[in-house]
Amino acid sequence: MSWFNSSKKSESAMSKLSYKIFEKSLLCAEALKPDLEEKFGKASKEFHSKYIPVLFEFMYFFLNLTDRYAFAQLGHERRNKLDDELVPPTIDALTETYFGHWPQNLKDGIKSDFYSNLNNAQIEYGSCEEMLLDPKDDTPTLEKLTSGAKSRSMVGRLTDNLSQIIEGKINLNAIFTMTIWGVVIESLRKKEIQDLISGASKEIK
């Protein structure tokens, strides 16, 4: 993907942060790709109708996580300025990577939908006080079944949202839960996003 290559060469700390968010989202989505291909058929229309929203959901998750890290490091005002400069190029890169060959009006529509869904996701993920919760401390399975309630942790909420995209229902599958936990925890192990925020903040106007 040409955007990946150009971003790696860029000296901008902001572009490196943008790339890292995209990279982590993509790697997580790719971890689910074999199962999606097996379930829906490789390169099928149904596969793409699932894979792209899965990738987008990981993007919402990592953008919200970056927002949290930025608030902790920079405070409210500079966090908002960072968001203003970080989010547009990240969305542009995502759109050009997957839909670069589409007519401009369709790409504009995808960007508009992404922004709208991102705003909703920021509210949803923002309501979660914990990154992870022990299942016994999280939303009970019966409550999920009867009311459609979701997990109260960020990763649990991500898992439920991904299950909703793929299966059309809130997640009740323990194996799927552990899969998502595994890919997210591994992606955050090196604390790269936190480290890049500091450099990117110095480029805020």
The string of DSSP codes covering 33-89 is HHHHHHHH-TT-HHHHHHHHHHHHHHHHHHHHHHHHHHHHHH-HHHHHHHHHHHHHH
76-99 and 2-9 are packed helices; what angle lies between their axes, rounded to 10 degrees?
A: 140
- The radius of gyration of the chain from alpha carbons, rounded to an integer in Å, stands at 17
DSSP character at residue 21:
H
Q: What is the pLDDT of residues 28-77, one digit of tens each?
A: 999 999 999 999 999 899 999 999 999 999 999 999 999 999 999 999 99
The band of 80, judged by pLDDT with boundaries at 50, 70 and 90, is: very high
What SS3 state is found at 98? Answer: helix
Q: What is the pLDDT of residues 7-22, one digit of tens each?
A: 444 578 998 999 899 9
Report the chain's terminal Cα–Cα distance, integer Å: 30
Q: In the structure encoding, which two tokens stand for residue 168, read together?
A: 């059309």
